[in-house]
Amino acid sequence: MEMAVTELKKNKALLCLECGKCTAVCPISAYDREFSPRRMLAEGIFYGGGDLISDKRLWSCLTCLLCSERCPVDVRYSEYMKGVREIAQKQGNWGEPSHGSALLHIMEMMTAPKLNQNRTGWINGNIKTAEKSDVLFFTGCLPYYEDFFAKDFDFHPISIAVDTVRILNHLKIKPAVLPNERCCGHDLYWLGKIDEFNKLRELNLKEFERSEAKTIVTACAECAYTLKELYVKKLGLNSIEVKHISELVAENIDRFKFKDQNLKITYQDPCRLGRHLNIYDSPRDAMKAVPGMDLNEMPHNKRGSICCGTTNWMNCGASSSRIQKARLTEAKNTGADTLVTACPKCQIHFRCSQCGKGKDKEKTDIKLKDFTNIIASAIDG
């Protein structure tokens, strides 16, 4: 209980005015009446968070930062949730992980130092990688998503990795790919498993040091957030620079030669790339530079964009599905044929929601593509 109070103080929760703007914008609250950030914060303030610790609602928060965006006194609600989760899971409380928690087990298995993974099977003859290079491509969990989701969804998550390397090759960069990199630890961090996260970070930083890379490029919004904020910024590392692929493309946009594409697209801001890292323009600039690419914005865009409905592979339920359906309908109503995201997980969650056989199947029927797929297919030569 005392620990919950320190979490409250740390995240400026005692400044809460109880205006309820957080609940008004929260995507989960829109569909789940039980879930209210304002009430959960008030419970924490008045009763020391005692109830919240054993509550299943605790694990529903998407940590998408939309509440902090609207909060007039800047309460860091997502961070507070993370802090309470840390206490809760130490006491043995846990949410309902999706996919039989297989993906969380994989992340935890990667904390074992002796593990020798076999994860570079996707590198084929068409793309060029080097053993040692200034630029390192951080694959993230894409090889595992390929194994887990490729068969169910008719979509190859690993194509994101292949296309990223293809884009880098077009810029005359031969990136190094680590054969034994670990998960970045994003999900474990936000679920309050800080010990495991620290282990992963330690192992990854050792690998980075050994590779002697100066720039790390990643195609995943969550990896970009974790590497930038929790690795480099938090530990004060000066030797490494982390970039999301969209930033790299936008910086070097003059060096690209694009074919004419006749595509109407709309863009989903991943919450980690958008509100967490403030990268809104670089993916848009990069896609607008492709001739014939028509970018239509959804009503909820940039700072106000709505999350894809699930984070950390946790508590995926009816409200998540309804958020996804609403978001897909919004994308379809812009008149675009393709919804582009810059995070593999967003795409997985949206595809999962499209799998159902509901009445509104036609309303949500829109093609989904990753940012890297769009850029790589537009490259001339």
Token couple for 263: 């595509």
Q: Which of 108, 134, 207, 294 binds other proteins (CB under 8 A)?
A: 108
Considering the rule CB under 8 A, would residue 114 count as an interface residue with other proteins?
yes
Q: For residue 46, how far is the Cα from the chain centroid?
A: 33
Closest contact distance (angstroms) between CB of 108 and other proteins is 6
Q: Which part of the chain contacts other proteins (CB under 8 A), choosing from 102-110, 132-140, 170-178, 242-250? A: 102-110
- Stretch touching other proteins by CB under 8 A, among 37-45, 97-105, 255-263, 368-376: 97-105
Q: Is 101 in the site for other proteins (CB under 8 A)?
A: yes
Rg from Cα positions in the chain: 20
Separation of alpha carbons 324 and 328, rounded Å: 6
Residues that contact other proteins, how many (by CB under 8 A): 22
Closest distance of CB 200 from other proteins, Å: 14
Residue 36, both tokens = 């209210």
Q: Does 19 help bind other proteins (rule: CB under 8 A)?
A: no
Closest CA to 279 of 229, 335, 234: 229
Residue type for 304, please?
Answer: G
Task: Identify which of residues 98 and 364 has a Cβ nearer to other proteins in the complex.
Answer: 98
Rounded least distance, CB 214 to other proteins, Å? 28
Under the binding rule (CB under 8 A), the answer on residue 154 touching other proteins is no
The phi and psi torsions of 126 (rounded to 5 degrees) equal -75, -20
Only segment of 141-149, 238-246, 281-289, 359-367 that touches other proteins (CB under 8 A) = 141-149
Nearer Cβ to other proteins, position 158 or 290? 158
313 within 8 A of 282, measured Cβ to Cβ: no
CB of 199 to other proteins, least distance (A): 13
Given candidates 6, 19, 72, 121, which one binds other proteins under the rule CB under 8 A?
121
Please identify, among the stretches 4-12, 145-153, 317-325, 347-355, the one whose residues bind other proteins according to the rule CB under 8 A: 145-153
Q: Is the Cβ–Cβ distance between 140 and 220 less than 8 Å?
A: yes
Stretch that binds other proteins, among 115-123, 226-234, 240-248, 336-344 (CB under 8 A): 115-123
The angle, 0 to 180 degrees and rounded to 10, between the axes of the packed helices 37-47 and 77-90 is 60
157 part of the interface to other proteins, by CB under 8 A: no
Could you say whether residue 148 binds other proteins (CB under 8 A)?
yes
Nearest to 343 by CA among 195, 224, 168, 190: 224
Distances (CA, A) of 340 to 105, 210, 263: 29, 35, 11
Is 106 a binding residue for other proteins by CB under 8 A? The answer is yes
Contact between 151 and other proteins per CB under 8 A: yes
Report if residue 109 touches other proteins, rule: CB under 8 A: yes
Three-point CA angle 170, 176, 182, nearest 5°: 125
Q: Does residue number 112 form part of the binding site for other proteins (CB under 8 A)?
A: yes
Task: Give pairs for 101-106: CB < 8 Å, separation 24+.
Answer: 101/313, 102/148, 103/141, 103/144, 103/148, 103/187, 103/313, 104/187, 104/188, 104/191, 104/313, 106/141, 106/144, 106/183
- Report the interface residues with other proteins, using CB under 8 A: 99-102, 105-106, 108-110, 112, 114-119, 121, 143-144, 147-148, 151
